């Protein structure tokens, strides 16, 4: 699974509504995980680290608000944007008042176009390389839409895996990524790839980045992994 395809966790108990929304999200290029209730949603968050969560207010057993509150207290989930979907505007007022930590709110019936725009706004904040923007780091510029990478104005040729690695690094310069985290993000969990494969592609990325000169911006962090800068 490519890192350019953001994963949306959709939590909605009504199958018809869930499928319509999932269909639209998939048509927009998102990978969609479906959950019918809170317990399922909490499990999927652990297993699959979604990039964004669309959370219905009215759910069986645990309410959407309560799920939102629980997710936002987890360290591994705090930065994942949550958009709450609710049936009435009074509910949205309550969500705001309750300070659940939701990042945005949409009222049913919502327009799909509006919802997509909100999803993109949230993703632009946390996963900019997935929504068609330019990322910059020192003299390196990566355009996620045209897949062009330049350094000091000169175009660099990168393979698809090297491009994804660089996009991941450029989203969070300075962050140290373990080999396992890079495997999850670049190759996905479904495919068995040895961690040494990561080293091979890091080597290729370094070669591509320094082809026209300049220092190697990729840092090896002993016993931890890799970082940009």
Residue for token pair 């176009």: 113
Cis peptide before 185 (omega within 30 of 0): no
Q: Are 83 and 119 in contact (CB under 8 A)?
A: yes
Token pair, residue 164, equals: 């994804």
Q: Is 37 in the site for Ca ion (CB under 5 A)?
A: no
> Got the DSSP string for 50-118?
-SEEEEES--SSS-HHHHHHHHHHSTTTTTS-EEEEESSHHHHHHHHHHT---SEEEESSPPHHHHHHH
**Whole-angstrom Cα distance, residue 176 to residue 199?**
14
| Contacts to Ca ion from residues 16-35, by CB under 5 A | none
Identify the residue among 56, 91, 162, 171 touching Ca ion (CB under 5 A): 56
Type and span of the H or E element at 226:
strand 225-228
Least distance CB 107 / Ca ion (angstroms):
13
Q: Is 40 in the site for Ca ion (CB under 5 A)?
A: no
Largest Cα separation within the chain, whole Å, is 59
Least distance CB 68 / Ca ion (angstroms):
14
**Whole-angstrom Cα distance, residue 203 to residue 216?**
11
Span from 7-15, 101-109, 179-187, 195-203 in contact with Ca ion (CB under 5 A): 7-15
| Contacts to Ca ion from residues 114-173, by CB under 5 A | none
Span from 53-61, 111-119, 125-133, 184-192 in contact with Ca ion (CB under 5 A): 53-61
Token pair, residue 139, equals: 């003299």
Span from 8-16, 76-84, 91-99, 203-211 in contact with Ca ion (CB under 5 A): 8-16
Least distance CB 9 / Ca ion (angstroms):
15
Which of 56, 162 has the CB closer to Ca ion? 56
Identify the residue among 4, 5, 13, 214 touching Ca ion (CB under 5 A): 13
Span from 21-29, 39-47, 56-64, 191-199 in contact with Ca ion (CB under 5 A): 56-64
Identify the residue among 1, 49, 58, 193 touching Ca ion (CB under 5 A): 58
Which of 33, 198 has the CB closer to Ca ion? 33
**Whole-angstrom Cα distance, residue 122 to residue 110?**
17
Q: Is 91 in the site for Ca ion (CB under 5 A)?
A: no
Span from 34-42, 50-58, 120-128, 154-162 in contact with Ca ion (CB under 5 A): 50-58
Q: Are 68 and 90 in contact (CB under 8 A)?
A: no
> What does the binding site for Ca ion look like in residue numbers (CB under 5 A)?
13, 56, 58
């Amino acid at each position: 699974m490519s890192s350019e395809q953001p994963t949306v966790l959709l939590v909605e108990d009504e199958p018809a509504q869930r499928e319509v929304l999932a269909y639209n999200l998939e048509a927009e290029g998102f990978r969609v995980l479906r959950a019918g209730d809170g317990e399922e949603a909490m499990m999927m968050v652990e297993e699959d680290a979604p990039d964004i969560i669309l959370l219905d207010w009215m759910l069986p057993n645990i309410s959407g608000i309560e799920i939102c509150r629980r997710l936002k207290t987890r360290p591994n989930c705090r930065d994942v944007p949550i958009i709450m979907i609710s049936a009435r505007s009074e509910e949205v007022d309550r969500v705001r008042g309750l300070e659940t930590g939701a990042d945005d709110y949409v009222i049913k019936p919502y327009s799909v176009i509006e919802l997509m725009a909100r999803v993109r706004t949230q993703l632009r904040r946390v996963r900019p390389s997935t929504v068609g923007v330019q990322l910059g780091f020192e003299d390196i510029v990566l355009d996620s839409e045209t897949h062009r990478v330049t350094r000091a104005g000169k175009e660099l040729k990168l393979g698809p895996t090297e491009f994804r690695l660089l996009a991941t690094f450029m989203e969070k310069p300075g962050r140290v990524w373990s080999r396992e985290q890079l495997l999850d993000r670049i190759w996905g969990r479904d495919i068995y790839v040895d961690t040494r494969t990561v080293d091979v592609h890091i080597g290729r990325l370094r070669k591509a980045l320094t082809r026209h000169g300049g220092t190697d911006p990729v840092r090896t962090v002993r016993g931890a992994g890799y970082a940009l800068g």
